[in-house]
Structure 1
């Protein structure tokens, strides 16, 4: 579970909560993310992401990601292993499928897997092809440093990875904090948009789930 705080470009502040779910039996996985904010006394769901697939030599290997944003139709992104491409329900585009390619839901967990497997990889740039709703972009993550986060779970030692804006591909900055003592899982995610809006999700509780994949 995560606490969500958003600051709009005009300074308006919003609070909410999110639930992030990771399940894996060693050969398959499922990821889920639901994000909402509180308006007066009601919760408004803003985003739901679901990803499922397998685990291979390159780490997480997505098969399908579904995305539902408030006020928009659900979209699906398909990682077609046999055809070696990524296709999208929201566009006619097809992108070559590269080894290690991820979707928006799975990429924080792929970074966690890299941390567990060989932390020295964070000494250089980490390039990951990420399938989105209508296309795909290469996210370049760089180690921004080690930081102590003050969370509802106490103080956590983390490694902060940053994806700076990339002209022509994406305008937002993405920061992900991984906690080595918690299996390198993401404990904070921040998205800083080009217009100045900032959304931060910070862990409040971690609950172990059954690894059985339905």
Structure 2
């Protein structure tokens, strides 16, 4: 899953002068082991339209997620393209499927005009390491990368839909480009979402920034009638800037 800071920075490259620096990472923290029932979503290509606003300037693009699962393995390739720039972001996650669900082995993120960053989940030494930093984290089971997290959430929802009720919370330990941190999604309500496939019923979840930190809020809508695929994602900053990603097409594989 890309961040608003990343998307705005990428779309603005060469056009806007603003820079968006990520917050300084905290020291590595311990994280709990959480094992939940899961049911993987069927392989598919999902096409999303993207629109954004930064300092009053409208931006647009398209994102395609290629999700594949089978033979005890999975892969997820997400590519984002912007008008005028072409491909500005590529995120690839691949790994196996174990007792916890998705078990990433490697996460690679390639940003516009930047070298690729690689996060490796070393199952033999039970550590998570980064090409962009010296931090490492223990690998206990259930950890995800920035790209696989939503699909692990989808898998859990498909296995236990009756538990995705307003107020329920779902936490994951998520590795990014150079560090890792807990992500918690909270179910808000049942909702309706306008998509390229028509209006669909969806479960609305929110990932808010930690109370002691400034950051973006992420809203996510999963559609039970469409295999629980993500049908909409929004990233919103306190200053009113946002990115909105809406499903336009599903191609089953």
Which is strand-richer, 1 or 2? 1
Which whole-Å deviations, capped at 9, do the CAs of 1:173-212 have from their partners, x for residues lacking one? 1121111011111111112235432111111011112xxx
Q: Equivalent of 1:78, from 120, 125, 128?
A: 120
Cα displacement (A) at 1:23: 0.3
Among 190, 197, 200, the residue aligned to 1:156: 200
| CA distance in 2 between partners of 1:61 and 1:98 (Å) | 11
Deviation at 1:158, TM superposition (A): 0.5
Deviation readout 1:74-118 (Å, 9 max, x if unpaired): 100111122222110000110122322111111111111011111
Q: TM-score, normalised by structure 1?
A: 0.90
Aligned to 1:53: 95
Contact 1:98 1:129 in 2 (8 A): no
Distance 1:80 1:159 in 2: 34
CA RMSD of aligned residues (A): 1.6
Cα distance change on mapping 1:169 and 1:90 into 2, 3 Å: farther
Match for 1:21 among 66, 73, 77? 66
SS in 2 for 1:204: strand
Q: TM-score, normalised by structure 2?
A: 0.77
Distance 1:189 1:103 in 2: 17
Classify the secondary structure of the residue corresponding to 2:250: coil
The number of residue pairs the alignment matches comes to: 205
Gap change, CA 1:98 and 1:197, over 3 Å in 2: farther
User: Corresponding residue for 1:212?
Assistant: none
Q: Structure 1 115/26 Cα, relative in aligned 2: closer, same or farther at 3 Å?
A: farther
Separation in 2, partners of 1:137, 1:121:
24
Offset at residue 168 of structure 1 (A): 5.8
Secondary structure of 1:113's counterpart equals helix
Conserved? CA contact 1:84–1:97, under 8 Å:
yes
Give 1:63's match in structure 2, choosing from 105, 111, 132.
105
* Residue 169 (structure 2) aligns with: 125
Which of 226, 230, 234 aligns to 1:186? It is: 230
Return closer, same or farther for 1:163/1:98 CA change in 2, 3 Å cut-off.
farther
Question: Which residue does the alignment assign to 1:137?
Answer: 181
Closer/same/farther in 2, CA of residues 29 and 181 from structure 1, 3 Å limit? same
Contact 1:159 1:177 in 2 (8 A): yes
**Which of 216, 219, 223 is the matching residue for 1:175?**
219
Q: Quick check: 96-105 or 53-62, which moved more?
A: 96-105
Aligned to 1:3: 49
Residue 25 of structure 1: how far off its partner (Å): 0.7
